[in-house]
Amino acid sequence: MTKIHFISATGIETVIDARDGDSVMHAAILNDVEGILAECGGSMMCATCHCYVDPAWQDRVTPPSEPEAGMLASAASAVRATSRLSCQITVGPELEGLVIHLPEAQL
């Protein structure tokens, strides 16, 4: 299990224990983290799992693939250099303590 910190757009922090090998999106859904909708279930077709990787973690999380970057362009909130689709980030021990910021809107 890997600890992940989610911080809402209003600053509320939720800490969860995510299963290694799961996606950050799925871990958020399983733990009722508000702010991740994931309407397509993780098939990279919706961008409602948009999140911002904390800048301190940016070097340890791979950048978005080209298709992911294309889908991010349709995200409801501003896309930043730290934007990722949380369904495309795989949880693993190297991400222990990862901090994910949630956008203001997902639709």
Closest CA to 92 of 30, 31, 21, 33: 21
In Å, how far are 82, 95, 101 from 92, measured between CA atoms? 19, 6, 18
Least Å distance, CB 54 to ligand FES, is 19
CB of 9 to ligand FES, least distance (A): 18
C-beta nearest to ligand FES: residue: 87
16 in Cβ contact with 6 (< 8 Å):
yes
Enumerate binding residues for ligand FES (CB under 6 A): 25, 38-40, 42, 44-49, 71, 85, 87
Cβ closest to ligand FES, residue 39 vs residue 96: 39
Q: How far is CA 100 from the centre of its chain?
A: 6
Residue whose CB is less far from ligand FES, 25 or 33: 25
Q: What are phi and psi of 17, to 5 degrees?
A: -105, 115
Q: Which is nearer to ligand FES, 25 or 95 (CB)?
A: 25
Distance of closest approach, residue 50 Cβ to ligand FES, in angstroms = 8
